[in-house]
Structure 1
Amino acid sequence: MTQRTCKPYEGLLVVSLEQAVAAPLASCHFAEGGARVIKIERDSGDFAREYDKAVKGEASYFVWANHGKESLCLDIKDADDAALLHRILDRADVFIQNLAPGAIARAGFDAGVLRARNPRLITCDISGYGEEGAYSEMKAYDFLVQCESGLVSVNGAPGHPGRIGVSVCDIGAGMNAVIGIQQALIARAQTDEGSSVKISLFDTAADWMTVPLMHAVYGGKAPEPVGMHHPSIAPYGGFRTADGQMLAISIQNEREWVRLCADVFGEAEMATDPRFCDAAARVANRPTLDAWVTAHFARHGRAELERLLHQATIAYGGVNSVEDFSRHPQLRRTPVTLESGEEVELVAAPVRHSFAPANPRFGAVPRLGEHSEMIRAEFAAEAVPA
């Protein structure tokens, strides 16, 4: 039986007054799923358009988070433009915004006001620290939230806390927004009423920090930066092979430890050595253990070690550069058309459905204001029924 192709968000109108990363990523998810997404930009454009010029002269973050949308330039402080946006939202299903704290309410687009006009509207407000509390007015760039939440304190090398190398708080908040909106859409199907979704970057990071927080509050000591190691597992990390490559291993239980000693390194007796006989002992004696693993890795080339590790069913992986990753055999890509008309390949969507093509093409990246004239005509006052 042939599976019918469908777009789960087809028929939805999503309006997003957005900038930077979190809100654009959320609305882009709905565009990929078939929704019509109108991106509201000021005349100068979303500042993420100028983050870099890495993608054939266009910004990497913008290309990633904005394909498949329509771009409408509006000045929400202008009375006529504000009225236009209200008319659009009166017909919308979802409204997403991540302006500075308080800005959306001052402009007359508070969630309560909008849902009074359109009771089926789902609103999603994305902020840095939430709308209440001492930090609610703080600027909240991804790096600063990583710092405030303690994320940097558990990353990096010993004595050198480090920022996570991608904008994880922005990305995570965008994904949480998608989850929240999906839940609200299901609730609307049951009640025929819209609702409000509130997301903050700090809450997102705080959720991820639950385990370190519990260690600090209940265990008496928070995890410290350990580089590629793990605070409670050993051996765990990257080790150099004889040909200068690096492989990472992760020994998660005693069965794997026994096989590593006997089948990979040929020293079965090490499995019962008092210094390494259980997980706690191995962590306590990590420097000695790592020196022993390092010495064995240095005796074999990468290919030989991969063969031995695979045969022993030991978890391992290459410590790849981004260039290595770009050639990874498991990396899936999807083409997208840039503002310039040129084509590049993005990483394919991570979620695959049986009802969708195996590798659906992304919509084009919109030029600034590309759809303004069309949308203004469509939602002109005389075009909207009273």
Structure 2
Amino acid sequence: MRPLEGVLVVSLEQAVAVPYASRLLADLGARVIKVERPGTGDFARQYDAAAGEVSSYFAWTNVGKESVVLDLKAPDGARVVAELVERADVVLCNLSPGALRRLGLDADALRARHPSLVVAELSSYGEGGPYSDRKAFDALIQSEAGLVALTGDGDAVARAGISVADIAGGVQLQAAVLAALVRRGRTGEGATLRLTLMEALAEWMHQPALYAHGTGREPLRHGAHHPTIAPYGPFPCADGAVHLAVQNDGQWRRLCSAVLGLPELADEPGFGTVAERVANRDELHARLVESFRGLSADDLLAALDAADVPAARTRGVGELTAHPQLTARDRWTRVAVPGGSAPMLRPPVDASTWEWEPAAVPALGEHTDAVLTWLGYTPAQVADLRARSVI
């Protein structure tokens, strides 16, 4: 038995952050009913067409859910949502706060009617403050929180290659929901949870913010190399690149003696300490590049492993579904998506007391009729709602 079996989550969601949170809850066994708008549904369905008929984003964040199409502005659509909420343990939402209040689906209204309900709302910046009415998406939050300024090389800045603000929000929202459910099990009382994308990513930016605050200096951009540790980053070799992560003097000395065959380099002026190696990064990198250029990535990694110097291959993301470690550990499985199937990773935490059960990514409105029947609607009533475009 999975830990959240019997827990019903109703999610008024779109895009990435809240869908990712509800997908994580579905992984743990929750029944997640995703409410989508008529016509196009969650707009993330159309970001690309990399997973059958839906986008890679949608497939990733919607495994194992049920899709119900409802017009929330229609009185009968609102009534269906109210009936779902009556049975729900958790309601998640990332519609705008104003829209929720107009629909009577904001946390305060829901909790007033259902004190034991856990209601979680996610917004861009939260209410109050000069940004309360500003819309934002992942890349904009990355800019506001300083991540774009921190990422890149030299004068060139870059957005992080994945939606880290959305992921930060989704992970923290899921954790808060789990904590609220544990507390409800002890007290019987629900909870109102409010999270902003800005504050979710700001939490992850704590360390560089503390560095800038304490030193009075912004961390410099060094591409994939570490701003305050060296050598720490990718180095080209004969057939690719190997990423070094030399974090202490013992690893540095082993790199010099066992891998480079240059034990004297460890104590050469300008290279003896981490701070000196960072200060002389360009010269250090030139020396390493010259030493590595004739080696294959496999040979260099073998030498680094033998010397107990942390390193990794620098791989393209297209190689991930065939990564030898993930393949050997059987981490990938095929999951049905609208129009086909797609490879999906198993949840990264293995549990001794329950198994993950891969389930399909839903087509738009695939479960509308089944959910309405479960709520007690007759076939004639379902047909009437469809005829009036409520569903």
Tell whether the 8 Å contact from 2:53 to 2:338 is kept in structure 1 after alignment. no
Residue 351 of structure 1 is matched in structure 2 by 349
| Distance in 2 between residues matched to 1:317 and 1:215, nearest whole Å | 27
Residue 45 of structure 2 is matched in structure 1 by 49
Q: Which of 40, 59, 63 pairs up with 2:59?
A: 63
Tell whether the 8 Å contact from 1:101 to 1:137 is kept in structure 2 after alignment. no
TM-score under structure 2 normalisation? 0.92
Tell whether the 8 Å contact from 2:63 to 2:362 is kept in structure 1 after alignment. yes
| CA displacement 1:123-145 (0-9 Å, x = unmatched) | 00011112222112111111111
| Distance in 2 between residues matched to 1:78 and 1:224, nearest whole Å | 53
Q: CA deviation at 1:373?
A: 1.8
In 2 relative to 1, CA 88–205 (structure 1 residues): closer, same or farther, beyond 3 Å?
same
Q: Percent identity?
A: 42
Q: CA deviation at 1:380?
A: 4.5
Residue 371 of structure 1 is matched in structure 2 by 367
Q: Which of 249, 253, 256 pairs up with 1:258?
A: 253
| CA displacement 1:36-56 (0-9 Å, x = unmatched) | 111001102111111111113
Q: CA deviation at 1:250?
A: 1.1
SS at match of 2:324: coil
What amino acid is aligned across from residue 67 of structure 2 in structure 1? S
Residue 221 of structure 1 is matched in structure 2 by 217
Residue 323 of structure 1 is matched in structure 2 by 318
Q: CA deviation at 1:199?
A: 1.3
What amino acid is aligned across from residue 16 of structure 2 in structure 1? V
Residue 383 of structure 2 is matched in structure 1 by none
| Distance in 2 between residues matched to 1:319 and 1:115, nearest whole Å | 49
Tell whether the 8 Å contact from 2:321 to 2:343 is kept in structure 1 after alignment. no
| Correspondence 1:21 to 2:16 | yes
Residue 3 of structure 1 is matched in structure 2 by none
| CA displacement 1:248-286 (0-9 Å, x = unmatched) | 101100111111111111111111112111111111111
Tell whether the 8 Å contact from 2:297 to 2:313 is kept in structure 1 after alignment. no
| Distance in 2 between residues matched to 1:105 and 1:329, nearest whole Å | 50
SS at match of 1:300: coil
| Distance in 2 between residues matched to 1:380 and 1:102, nearest whole Å | 31
Q: Which of 22, 28, 36 pairs up with 1:33?
A: 28
What amino acid is aligned across from residue 318 of structure 1 in structure 2? R
Residue 335 of structure 1 is matched in structure 2 by 334
The runs of 4+ residues in structure 1 deviating greater than 3 Å are none
Q: CA deviation at 1:378?
A: 2.6
Q: CA deviation at 1:304?
A: 2.0
SS at match of 2:230: coil
What residue ranges of structure 2 are gaps of 5+ in the alignment? 379-391
Residue 239 of structure 1 is matched in structure 2 by 235
What amino acid is aligned across from residue 271 of structure 2 in structure 1? F
What amino acid is aligned across from residue 333 of structure 2 in structure 1? T
Tell whether the 8 Å contact from 2:67 to 2:367 is kept in structure 1 after alignment. yes
SS at match of 1:330: helix
TM-score under structure 1 normalisation? 0.93
1:1-386 matched pairs, under 5 angstroms: 6-44=1-39, 45-241=41-237, 243-331=238-326, 332-340=331-339, 342-357=340-355, 360-380=356-376
Count of residue correspondences: 373
Cα RMSD (Å)? 1.4
What amino acid is aligned across from residue 346 of structure 2 in structure 1? A
Tell whether the 8 Å contact from 1:41 to 1:74 is kept in structure 2 after alignment. yes
